[in-house]
A = this chain, B = another copy of it.
Amino acid sequence: MPSKTFSHPINITLHDIDAAGVMFFADYFRHAHDAYECFMAEIGFPLPQLIHQRTLLPLVHSEADFLLPVHHGDRLRIEIHLERIGTSSFTVGYQFLDTQAREVARIKTTHVLLHPGKRSPMGLPKTLLKSLDVYAVSTDG
């Protein structure tokens, strides 16, 4: 169970829907990333500032399960918690929940901290580790 959960509301709009009448799968990832940006700002690490400092946290892995179809006008919330916190990388989990709290999709994104100007990983700063840990799924859960 997460100590703390970050919640991000989204409305599914006209362009999220594809020719099959449901949300296009790439748009789930876009919404998840918007939620991630809000989360990072909330915990004191806004992405525009990190990028400006050349502190890059590129995505190296992502996966998603699409459980129930999502339609135009649906109001969802994305709940964020930390799935894994390593020495130089971490994995964010996103649950997409509808107004009845049913899980309609779940996504993971793994981010690695890189040395500025390089492609090699470096250790996550203690302040970030501490901030992420507040949202960690407990290991005994």
Using a CB–CB cutoff of 8 Å, the interface residues on chain A facing chain B are 11, 13-22, 24-27, 29-30, 33-34, 37-38, 46-49, 51, 56, 58-67, 69, 71-73, 109, 119
Contact = CB atoms under 8 A, between A and B. Distances in A.
A25 B30 CA distance: 8
A34 B51 CA distance: 26
Given A15-B33, A48-B19, A25 B72 contact: no
Copies of this chain held together in the complex: 4
B37 A13 contact: yes
Contacts of A63: 61-64
Nearest to A26: B29
A72 B58 contact: no
A56 B17 CA distance: 15
Given A29-B26, A61-B63, A62-B64, A51 B13 contact: no
